[in-house]
Chain A
Amino acid sequence: EIVLTQSPATLSLSPGERATLSCRSSQSVSSFLAWYQQRPGQAPRLLIYDASNRATGIPARFSGSGSGTDFTLTISSLEPEDFAVYYCQQRSNWPLTFGGGTKVDI
């Protein structure tokens, strides 16, 4: 099973600041990595697929990069609605797996 390790567990920032979230895989997943945002009480929302492609309707301040085992989600300038938990997910191998999440809070 591929293990995804997200860091940091919590990121404390202010609106307007840049957020950089990391996801490291225990083995290569090529570019088959996605990022999700989950706000309290809501279902996850797809942000990024295939490591760097923004999902439809996702603002340009969200960007993804990386390949192989190291991936990054960047939020260029935090908006109030961006304070949430972010998960990475690999779709390279069965079973599909999620990282443990990074909470972005104020």
Chain B
Amino acid sequence: EVQLVESGGGLIQPGGSLRLSCAASGFTVSSNYMSWVRQAPGKGLEWISFISTSSSKYYADSVRGRFTISRDNAKNSLYLQMNSLRDEDTAVYYCAGSDWYLWGQGTLVTVSS
């Protein structure tokens, strides 16, 4: 089955760090453009980061300098390293790929003291 599965979410204090993972099966992360999208509780979708097949990376202004997207081809996984977390980073984080056809189920990140 072709799927993406996110993990790594949880409760973290403001200023803390967290790394999200997105494990792919039946699908090759390195051969696809991949993105992270988040959704704050009760709010709309917000694109936050993208990595191309040639490893070009793009970020939303809201996370640039704090978040880093990466992938591990051997593990067929995508990652999002999140540093200096703020209350407003609280959201469900989705990974997406395969020209936006394929989405994970999301992982909840809650930033709160």
Which residues of A come within 8 Å of B, CB atoms? 1, 34, 36, 38, 43-46, 49, 55-56, 87, 89, 94-101
B34 to chain A, nearest CB (A): 13
**Chain B contact residues: helix, strand, loop or mixed:** strand
- Complex formed: what's the CA distance from A96 to B99 in Å? 13
Are A98 and B45 in contact, CB atoms less than 8 angstroms apart? yes
Q: Which residues of B contact A (CB under 8 A)?
A: 35, 37, 44-47, 50, 58-61, 94, 96, 99-101, 103-106
Task: Given A1-B61, A43-B94, A44-B94, check contact A97 B47 (CB 8 Å).
Answer: yes
Instruction: Decide if A95 touches B58 in the complex (CB within 8 Å).
Output: yes
A55 to B44, CA, bound (A): 21
Q: Which of A43, A97, A99 contacts B105 (CB 8 A)?
A: A43
Q: How near does chain A come to B104, taking the closest CB pair, in angstroms?
A: 7
Looking at the assembled complex, report how far the CB atom of A38 sits from the nearest CB atom of chain B, in whole angstroms. Answer: 8
Question: Contact at B100–A46, with CB atoms within 8 Å?
Answer: yes
Enumerate chain A residues within 8 angstroms of B35, measured Cβ to Cβ: 96
- A43–B103 CB distance below 8 A: yes
CA distance A38 to B59 in the complex (A): 23
A residues less than 8 Å from B61 (CB atoms): 1, 95
Q: List 29 A-B contacts (CB under 8 A).
A: A1-B61, A34-B100, A36-B45, A36-B100, A38-B45, A43-B94, A43-B103, A43-B105, A43-B106, A44-B45, A44-B94, A44-B96, A46-B101, A49-B100, A56-B101, A87-B45, A89-B45, A89-B47, A89-B100, A95-B47, A95-B60, A96-B47, A96-B50, A97-B47, A98-B45, A98-B46, A98-B47, A99-B44, A100-B44
